[in-house]
Amino acid sequence: MTSMTDADLDTLRANAQAVVRDLRDRKPRLDDDSIDLILRDARSHYAWTDRPVSRDVLDTLYEITAAGPTSMNSCPARFVFVTSDEGKARLAKALKPKNVAKMEGAPVTTILAYDQEFWTHLPFLFPHEDRRHLFEGKEAHIETTAFRNGTLQGAYFMIAARALGLDVGAMSGFSNDIVDEEFFSGTTLKSNFLINLGYADESALFQKLPRFAFDEVCSFA
């Protein structure tokens, strides 16, 4: 691939800026119902209907998630969609007993993982300059960066799923070590948390739990 000239880069920047301005002109903000759908009135779900989640929906879900920002566009998250009986049996070994039925009832359970060798892909993901030297041999920095940005991508994933009409139920009641042994042995991936996906049975919901008020947790400096 040949290097881009300054004129090429100027054109790309101008096009990118125009896209953002045009979008803001068309849609300055989400309407309140859309905000309610993805966050304010959204719920974590524990019971599921048998309506399947199609491959096309998962493709779109990943496409939206991948657009979310990460530091240096590092994109360390990796997604394993557990849908088969065999996969769910392997995953069940890692779950606390109360979480097994939640996982087995969901059409899809996503293992959200992160790649500890994400930084080796930076020449593709961040082509402005080679920044691999910032990570090579620096295990603590690699782990912190991968975990932080992979977790961010997990949040984007859940919001994107809700935006597409899916319901989600994130889970952390499991053994990361067992998941890593079952699914990622011999790789550079580590599990973070699990996300059940599907179309929920709302009859299992209870009241929404309290949240802190602005003045309790927000301040100015």
Q: How many CB atoms lie within 10 A of CB 109?
A: 26
Establish if 18 belongs to a structural domain: no
Q: How many other β-carbons are positioned within 10 Å of the β-carbon of residue 44?
A: 16
Q: What would the pLDDT profile of 33-46 be if each residue is shown by its tens digit? A: 999 999 999 999 99
What is the domain count for the chain?
1
Does residue 36 belong to any structural domain of this protein? no
Crossing angle of helices 139-163 and 55-66, rounded to 10°? 130
Residue 20 within a domain = no
pLDDT at residue number 106: 97
102-133 residue pLDDT tens? 999 999 999 999 999 999 999 999 988 899 99
Structural domain boundaries enclosing 124: 44-202
**Structure confidence at residue 6 as a pLDDT band (50, 70, 90):** confident
- Give the phi and the psi of residue 12 in degrees, each rounded to 5: -60, -45
Pairing of strands 108-115, 189-198: antiparallel
- 197: CATH: 3.40.109.10
The answer to whether residue 108 is domain-embedded is yes
The average pLDDT across 196-215 equals 95
Structural domain includes residue 176: yes
Does the residue 169 lie in any domain? yes
Q: Is residue 56 part of a domain?
A: yes
Q: Is residue 27 part of a domain?
A: no
pLDDT at 3: 66
Q: What is the DSSP string of 97-110?
A: HHHHHHHHHSSEEE
Contact assessment for residue 191 and residue 180, using Cβ atoms and an 8 Å cutoff: yes
